[in-house]
Amino acid sequence: MSLTVYVFNGPNLNLLGRREPGIYGAQTLADVEALCAETAGKLGLSLEFRQTNHEGTLVDWIQEAGTAQAEGRAIGVVLNPAAYTHTSVALQDAIKGAQVRVIELHISNVHQREEFRHHSFVSPVAAGIMVGFGTDGYRLAIDALHAKAEAEAMRA
Ligand code: DQA
């Protein structure tokens, strides 16, 4: 059975393609899912791709992914927490508590934007951070998560 890579997307990312295209580009969330499916397929991984506008749902999903990783069924999560990046102690606690491998991802370079986007509650508990590569960052993040999981499995 193949290992799962989870890709979780937070609030307003369902609007990709028509939401501030100058910042987030023209690709829709369905395009991003197709890119992730192609990338996962090349690596022999199963993809679980989701989006929610609700903070608690992200917490539930992170806990679910933590259980799957602990049971050896998943390599971890590529997480675009969107605006919850900058506000959510609950997300930080969930990632820490679930002990799940997370790559934090932002389509835009948040550090070139408003000051309030410069702080992340997720970064201190992320295994790595992918920022500012547009939607192509999802492909790069899945590759990076896979490499990290493999390296850690070798050391274990
Ligand atoms: C985002 C950046 C966040 O600051 C913003 O709230 C988003 C998207 C990004 O992908 O660039 O919704 O996470």
Atom of ligand 1 nearest to the CA of 132: 11
Structure confidence at residue 1 (pLDDT): 80
134 CA → ligand 1 middle, Å: 11
Domain boundaries, the chain: 4-155
CATH class of the domain whose range is 4-155: alpha beta
Residue the block writes with tokens 């799962």 = 4
Determine if ligand 1 sits within 6 Å of the CB of residue 39: no
69 CA → ligand 1 middle, Å: 26
Q: Is the pLDDT of residue 134 over 90?
A: yes
| Poorest-pLDDT segment among 40-49, 98-107, 146-155 | 146-155
6 given a catalytic annotation: no
Q: Is 83 helix (H, G, I), strand (E, B) or coil?
A: helix
Test site for ligand 1: of 55, 85, 118, most ligand atoms within 8 A of the Cβ: 85
Global pTM reads 0.97
The closest of 155, 1, 140 to 72, measured between CA atoms, is: 1
pLDDT digits (tens, 9 = 90+) for 74-92: 999 999 999 999 999 999 9
pLDDT digits (tens, 9 = 90+) for 16-67: 999 999 999 999 999 999 999 999 999 999 999 999 999 999 999 999 999 9
Q: Residue 64 class from Cβ within 10 Å (0-12 exposed, 13-18 middle, 19+ buried)? A: middle
Residue the block writes with tokens 């820490």 = 96
Q: Is the pLDDT of residue 3 over 90?
A: yes
Please give the mean pLDDT across all residues of the chain. 97
**pLDDT bracket for residue 149 (50, 70, 90):** very high
**pLDDT bracket for residue 145 (50, 70, 90):** very high
Q: Is the pLDDT of residue 156 over 90?
A: no
Q: What angle do CA 4, 53, 106 make, to 5 degrees?
A: 65
Test site for ligand 1: of 19, 84, 107, 135, most ligand atoms within 8 A of the Cβ: 107
Structure confidence at residue 43 (pLDDT): 98
Structure confidence at residue 15 (pLDDT): 95
Structure confidence at residue 39 (pLDDT): 98
Atom of ligand 1 nearest to the CA of 86: 4
